[in-house]
Amino acid sequence: MRRTRRKPAAPGPHPAADLNPRPGRTVKVIIIGGVTGGASRAARLRRLDETVEILLVERGPYVSYANCGLPYHVGGVIEREASLLVATERTFREQFAIDVRTNCEAIAILTRTKTVELRDATTGEVTTEAYDKLVLSPGAASVRPPLPGIDLPGIFQVRTVPDARAIRAWIERGTAFLAGTNSYSGIQMARPTTRAVVVGGGFIGLEVVENLRHRGFDVTLFEMLDEVLAPLDREYARLVEGHLETHGVRLALGDRVAGFRQGPNDSLEVLTRSGKTYPADIVILALGVKPETGLARTANLEIGARGGIRVNEQMRTSDPDIFAVGDAVEVRDFVTGEWSLIALAGPANRQGRSAADVIAGRDSRFRGTQRTAVVGLFGAAAAWTGASEKTLKRLGDTDYEKVYLYPNSHAGYHPGAKMIGLKLLFRKSDGKVLGAQALSEDGPGVDKRISALAMAIQMGVTIDDLAEAELCYAPQFGSAKDPVNFAGMVARDVLNGDMPIAHWDAARNGFLLDVREPAELALESVPGATNIPLGQLRARLGELSREREIEVTCRSGQRAYYATRLLLQNGFKVRNLSGGMLSRAILLAEAPGFEKELV
Query: What is the C-alpha to C-alpha distance for residues 35 and 25, in angstroms, rounded to an integer?
Result: 29
Task: Give the angle subtended at the CA of 576 by the CAs of 481 and 454, to the nearest 5°.
Answer: 45
Among 399, 419, 422, 397, residue whose Cα is nearest residue 409: 419
How does strand 257-262 pair with strand 126-130? unpaired
User: Dihedral, CA atoms, 554, 559, 560, 563, nearest 10 degrees?
Assistant: -140
Q: Which of 68, 104, 472, 554 is catalytic?
A: 554
Query: What is the C-alpha to C-alpha distance for residues 464 and 248, in angstroms, rounded to an integer?
Result: 42
Between 37-48 and 89-96, two packed helices, what is the crossing angle to 10 degrees?
A: 10
Query: What is the C-alpha to C-alpha distance for residues 583 and 578, in angstroms, rounded to an integer?
Result: 7
Residue 215: DSSP 8-state: T
CB-CB neighbours of 338 under 10 Å: 16
Integer-rounded Cα Rg, in Å, for the chain is 28
CB-CB neighbours of 358 under 10 Å: 23
H or E element in which residue 435 lies: strand 433-440
Sheet holding 257-262, edge to edge: 257-262, 268-272, 277-280
Among 62, 57, 144, residue whose Cα is nearest residue 108: 57
For 319-351, the DSSP string reads STTEEE-GGGEEEEBTTT--EEE---HHHHHHH
CB 380 within 8 A of CB 599: yes
Q: State yes or no: is 104 an active-site residue.
A: no
CB-CB neighbours of 506 under 10 Å: 9
Contact partners, residue 122, CB within 8 Å, separation at least 6 = 103
Q: What are phi and psi of 215, to 5 degrees?
A: -85, 5
Helices (H), ranges, 160-224 = 161-173, 176-179, 203-214
Query: What is the C-alpha to C-alpha distance for residues 157 and 205, in angstroms, rounded to an integer?
Result: 10
Helices (H), ranges, 127-255 = 161-173, 176-179, 203-214, 234-246
Query: What is the C-alpha to C-alpha distance for residues 342 and 294, in angstroms, rounded to an integer?
Result: 18
Query: What is the C-alpha to C-alpha distance for residues 586 and 599, in angstroms, rounded to an integer?
Result: 13
The residues carrying an active-site annotation are 554
